[in-house]
Amino acid sequence: MLLSIACAADGLAQTIKIGVNEPLTGPFAASGTYIVNGAKIAADQINANGGVLGKKIELVIEDNKSNPTEAAAVAEKLITRDKVPVMMGAWGSTLTLAVMPKLQEYGVPMVVEVSSSDKITTSGNPYVFRISLPSSVEAEGIKDVLPKLKMAKADFLVINNDWGRGAAVDYSNVLKEVGVKTGVVETMDPTAQDMSAQLSKIKSTDSDTIIVTAAVEQLTLMLKQAAALDLKKQILTTGSSQNPDQLIDQAGAAANGSLHVATFAPWFPQTMPDPKAADYFLGEWKRRGYDAAGVTESFRGYEGIRTIAAAVEKAGKAEPEAIKAAMWKVDYIGLNGRIKFDKQGPAGKESGQSRPNVFLIKIEDGKVVLPRL
């Protein structure tokens, strides 16, 4: 029996653990589940090709319940109980910001796969490596397109957290640079179901556009409520968490005409930086029977795990400090562009920031199209 236990323990040691800290319940559950499913595809693909350093990778998945306090507790549990040398997470900016002190406390690096608050890479945390775009870079990415949208003045409707408020500031700055005026900034609670009061206020302003930052669940409700109010203004969503296919399915005709900033365009895989990888990922997603609407977010989980695997391979060992150092050597073409980290933040405590591509798509007649500009 003792021999069996020893062999079992030795078997566990033959895997390389990666902590996955995502919202699997609560208001962001749909998005967190998409990320996890994407991560599973990456892990299975890597393991089928021999793993990393001759070992299988093992995802240790925990639910942060869409709650910042829980996200921090999950990070600590993954590090102290599960002994993970590296993590991916934690979806929303507020969740990720809550986790970041734990990374420094225990010296464990994390790949940030979704969060867009500028604070994440400018606050001086050398254990943070982000593959998603901060809202400031995202806004800059579509700066040349904004004048073609024929907007003169834009209002904002954003989720009341670091992600939403930060996006309003960053997009306002870029709009001013291209001569577009900004109007009111309305906020909504992350769990809010009724945005009619905010939409009614925006309807009464002289703006021609609403820029919205929220998760797909709230965007669905918002589009329906805007249609019910006969709000005719142009709608542009940010943050690449809108899942246009899900909006089409659940919001129906209310989604028509809406514009969305995306960092992956699965509807046009041959236009992606690595068409072969995009075809594989999309084919695997479909083969597993996952919700097609989740592809625009799930690729982030897929890319996050591939980035971690690349760093571990370069590190030559699954130890936190070695992986952290190796993150700066990662350089490959991902589904939505080059994954290579630039330094951001205070000297000596820089975080890593990759700069993927940005796309603008539109929903027309229940389909995703490239807008005619």
Contacts of 57 (CB under 8 A, 6+ apart): 15, 16, 17, 18, 43, 46, 47, 51, 305, 309, 312
Check residue 117 and give its pLDDT: 87
Check residue 291 and give its pLDDT: 86
pLDDT band at residue 6 under the 50/70/90 scheme? very low
Whether residue 312 contacts residue 50, with contact meaning beta carbons closer than 8 Å, is answered with no
Residue 182: count of CB within 10 angstroms of its CB = 19
Q: What is the 3-state secondary structure (H, E, C) of the chain?
A: CHHHHHHHHHHHHCEEEEEEEECCCCCCHHHHHHHHHHHHHHHHHHHHCCCECCEEEEEEEEECCCCHHHHHHHHHHHHHCCCCCCEEECCCHHHHHHHHHHHHHHCCCEEECCCCCCHHHHCCCCCEEECCCCHHHHHHHCCCCHHHHCCCEEEEEEECCHHHHHHHHHHHHHHHHCCCEEEEEEEECCCCCCCHHHHHHHHCCCCCEEEEECCHHHHHHHHHHHHHCCCCCEEEECCCCCCHHHHHHHHHHHHCCCEEEECCCCCCHHHCCCHHHHHHHHHHHHHCCCCHHHHHHHHHHHHHHHHHHHHHHHHCCCCHHHHHHHHCCCCEEECCEEECCEEECCCCCCEEECCCCCEEEEEECCEEECCCC
Contacts of 319 (CB under 8 A, 6+ apart): 85
Check residue 8 and give its pLDDT: 44
User: Which of 5-14, 188-197, 342-351 is least confident?
Assistant: 5-14
pLDDT tens digit string along 314-349?
Answer: 999 999 999 999 999 999 999 989 999 999 999 999
Q: Is the pLDDT of residue 299 over 70?
A: yes
**Joined tokens for residue 280:** 């594989």
Contacts of 96 (CB under 8 A, 6+ apart): 71, 89, 90, 112, 115, 117, 120
pLDDT band at residue 180 under the 50/70/90 scheme? very high
Check residue 1 and give its pLDDT: 47
Check residue 241 and give its pLDDT: 64
pLDDT band at residue 239 under the 50/70/90 scheme? confident
Whats the size of the chain, residue-wise? 373
Q: Is the pLDDT of residue 298 over 80?
A: yes
Q: What is the mean pLDDT of the chain?
A: 93
Q: Which of 92, 101, 100 is nearest to 64 (CA)?
A: 92
CA 310 to chain centre: 19
Q: Is the pLDDT of residue 112 over 90?
A: yes
Q: Which of 267, 157, 296 is nearest to 223 (CA)?
A: 157
Check residue 13 and give its pLDDT: 54
Instruction: For residues 354-360, give the mean pLDDT.
Output: 90
pLDDT tens digit string along 10-62?
Answer: 344 589 999 999 999 998 998 999 999 999 999 999 999 999 999 999 999 99
